[in-house]
Amino acid sequence: MPELPDVTVYVERLRARVVGQPLERVRLATPFLLRTVDPPLSATFGREVREVRRLGKRIVLGVEGELFLVLHLMIAGRLRWRERGAAVTRKVGLAAFDFPVGSVLLSEAATKKRASLHVVRAEGLRAFDKGGIEPLEASLEDFRNALLSENHTLKRALTDPRLFSGIGNAYSDEILFSAGLSPITRVQKLNDAEIERLFRATRGTLERWTDELRREVGEGFPEKVTAFREAMAVHGRYGKPCRVCGTRVQRIRYADNEVNYCPRCQTAGRLLADRALSRLLHEDWPRTIEELEAAEEQRSSAVTPPGTRDERKREKARKARR
């Protein structure tokens, strides 16, 4: 799902292109994208775009007359800038927003379409504001107060829109790795130094990736928005070596999400229990990365004893010589 850095860059590039332009029309490829009927979508047609902003993980286009289009891309929704009047792509295309200078195409490459578009008046925007603080604008004290307001795990706290605005699964993994903290640590157990470390890691990670995406896009438009980037430290890198210590990145799966972490950099070598696997393996579930590595080495030796392949090759060579 596009998060704060990705949505910020979308907003900046849209702002540069469409503010001051009239929204000529919106072509819907599926009526299910539009979730409101009053005011009607047609009420925004022909009105000049006055602002484009981020609201959590949503993109808001404000047009004259105090009307707002609120777009949530969800997991697989993506925007493309194309020539004015460009056709909406079949199968994955959801809508096109037409301006005199070009068209913004909305697509969603997923079986279940979850992206949404709402048209609301100014007072209706409050319904989309979950109340989380802006992590790049908050002071350390604001951050501490939000973090400690509920006793969640760190992973859940960072991704709770009522606490922090715009942080999701991918960047929370990167933040926690940068802070050297376990994703399952309860916030109430953090000391002041750890809270400050998390605060700085949050700002640093989000600023770094926002700047990186800006450099990647330049004066163009984001074309490769993804939650899995090669330069990420742990997110999407399950089984790959940690860039700091070389230990293989581990993960916990739950529902449609997963937590990625380095057991040596973040959990002092302890493996976090994946519910499904730990329930299946019971006492055989390894508790530390050392136990896991030893078990994997033992299984590998049992399948292919040391020297077996070499001996087979030598025997085959002997037979060939005969």
Tell me the C-alpha distance between 292 and 41, whole Å: 56
Looking at residue 274, its pLDDT comes to 66
Among 100, 128, 156, which residue terminates a domain? 128
Residue 181 lies in a domain: yes
Read off the amino acid at residue 233.
A
- pLDDT by position in tens, the chain (length 322): 899 999 999 999 999 999 999 999 999 999 999 999 999 999 999 999 999 999 999 999 999 999 999 999 999 999 999 999 999 988 899 999 999 999 999 999 888 889 999 999 999 999 999 999 999 999 999 999 999 999 999 999 999 999 999 999 999 999 999 999 999 999 999 999 999 999 999 999 999 999 999 999 999 999 989 888 999 999 999 999 999 999 999 999 876 678 999 999 999 999 997 655 444 444 455 566 666 555 555 565 555 555 555 555 555 544 444 4
Taking the C-alpha atoms of residue 264 and residue 18, their distance in angstroms, rounded to an integer, is 47
Q: Which two tokens stand for residue 190?
A: 């953090």
User: Residues 115, 16: one domain?
Assistant: yes
Question: Domain check: are 119 and 145 in the same one?
Answer: no
Domain boundary among 70, 94, 128: 128
Cα–Cα distance, 3 to 8 (Å, whole number) = 8
Q: Please check whether residue 70 lies inside any domain of the structure.
A: yes
Q: What angle do CA 138, 195, 190 make, to 5 degrees?
A: 145
In a domain, 297, yes or no: no
Residue 261 lies in a domain: no
Spell out the residues 6+ positions from residue 147 whose beta carbon is closer than 8 angstroms to its own.
157, 163, 187, 190, 195, 198
Domains identified in the chain, total number: 2
Residue 191 has what pLDDT?
97
Coil, strand or helix at 138: coil
Print the domain residue range for 144: 140-217
* pLDDT for the residue 282: 44
Same domain? For 52 and 20 the reply is yes
10, 115: one domain: yes
Kindly state whether residues 29 and 123 are assigned to the same domain: yes
Q: Is residue 300 part of a domain?
A: no
Question: Which pLDDT score, from 0 to 100, does residue 90 have?
Answer: 85
Q: What is the amino acid identity at position 151?
A: N
Picking from 217, 243, 269, the residue at the C-terminal end of a domain is 217
Q: Are residues 155 and 54 in the same domain?
A: no
Looking up residue 38, the CATH number of its domain turns out to be 3.20.190.10
Cα(223)–Cα(250) distance, integer angstroms: 29
CATH number at residue 162: 1.10.8.50
Residues 72 and 145 in one domain: no
Same domain, 40 and 99: yes
Looking at the fold, whether 34 and 64 belong to one and the same domain comes out as yes
Please name every residue paired with 27 in a beta bridge, in sequence order, or none if there are none.
96
